[in-house]
Structure 1
């Protein structure tokens, strides 16, 4: 994918750099090392760079890297001790019965599926606060605050709740969203051979990250919604208003 890193920098100072990561880009190199990662791009730009936390490849939004060891140590300790505030937005299948709540279900790696996590009573404590911001009958736009940082936490918890994240190929059906699902009289234009998806990526976005930097400096970092998520919300809002 074509990626100009300077266009995605939310802020930077002497201690850290915050990026609005696009969906489809790895945060750090995977085991195969074939695909480009955000960390590699940052190393090319800055030289030394230190991983503080990560986002799933399909998740977009705020991700922070430290520029030196002291910042890395201080920030990593905050993430581990749950002193950061992490807020996500996501589109899920269906409408949860409760408009807000807390999912407190332990998570561990699936016993037979490598790279897949699952709710398991002997797993690590995992807590997700959620709120339905806008229900759309077949989908819901939600806000999540994670109090723990387990792998795939929001995705696993929403599957457990019965409302997986849209386009999630691990914990949902992975199917793209088409405008023909929303418009009963939708007709393909003559210039198109087949309908293009309205959304074809994990519908999860790291919207805000708050923490304390060196010397007690407070950070509140926000990543605006990318174009694809804005577009599907616009279409869902129109569709919802027409059905009233």
Structure 2
């Protein structure tokens, strides 16, 4: 898969750090299998000592912080450790769901092999706050604010509320097809309909943190083309 040049992903850069808008299907770090291109490798080609400060799932797009030196990496890591970094995600979920500061507090256990489960006895604390932003006939655009940073946290917390992310088949989410929302949609003979998004509909929209001891900043990552197209089609045919 072809990805944009690293410099074209940059939302902000100073001598110590970079904030990028990570494309979907690009791993944050090396996978166990190695081999395929990832964001860390691209970042190191751009800045020798680059380190990724947090991870996004391979299919998740959006704002991600990269430190250019060990001191900045430690400075930002401490903010994550003390829950001082504010992250905002947008997700499109199946069904109409009314969330008004819904606080989901369900511990998550890492089962290994990229599998997690809700486990009240053995899981690590995990908290997310959800707010519905926009209602459609068959879907809802939701703002997700994770307080902790567990693997698959937003995905499994939404699934626990029967509010699965569209296209997230691992957690029971169904993909969105144009034929489901557009009246009179006709597929050509011998054509197979593909989902509007070829991944689950989750985007890291904004990140807010201190870039140095005195300066807090917020960075917003524009929707990538596939997410923007989904919203546009829902606005047009499912509003």
Say yes or no: TM over 0.5. Answer: yes
Partner of 2:206: 208
Tell me if the contact between 2:17 and 2:67 (Cα under 8 Å) persists in the aligned partners: yes
Give, in angstroms, the shift of residue 91 of structure 1. Answer: 0.5
SS at match of 1:10: strand
TM-score relative to the length of structure 2? 0.93
Q: Return the alpha-carbon distance in structure 2 between the equivalents of residues 233 and 215 of structure 1.
A: 38
Give, in angstroms, the shift of residue 215 of structure 1. Answer: 3.1
Q: How many residues end up aligned between the 2 structures?
A: 237
1:142-221 alignment, distance < 5 Å: 142-173=142-173, 175-189=174-188, 193-221=191-219
Gaps of 5+ in 1: none
Give, in angstroms, the shift of residue 167 of structure 1. Answer: 1.0
Partner of 1:222: 220
Runs of 4+ in structure 1 deviating by more than 3 angstroms, as ranges, are 97-100
Report which stretch shifted further, 77-86 or 101-110.
101-110
Give, in angstroms, the shift of residue 101 of structure 1. Answer: 0.9
1:12 pairs with 2:10: no
Any idea what the Cα deviations from partners look like across 1:36-83, whole Å, max 9, x if unmatched? 100001111211111210100010000011000110001001001101
Q: Return the alpha-carbon distance in structure 1 between the equivalents of residues 233 and 211 of structure 2.
A: 39
Q: Return the alpha-carbon distance in structure 2 between the equivalents of residues 145 and 176 of structure 1.
A: 23
Gaps of 5+ in 2: none
Q: Return the alpha-carbon distance in structure 2 between the equivalents of residues 218 and 29 of structure 1.
A: 30
Partner of 2:134: 134
Any idea what the Cα deviations from partners look like across 1:183-213, whole Å, max 9, x if unmatched? 23111257x8333321111200001000012
Q: Over aligned residue pairs, what C-alpha RMSD do you find?
A: 1.6
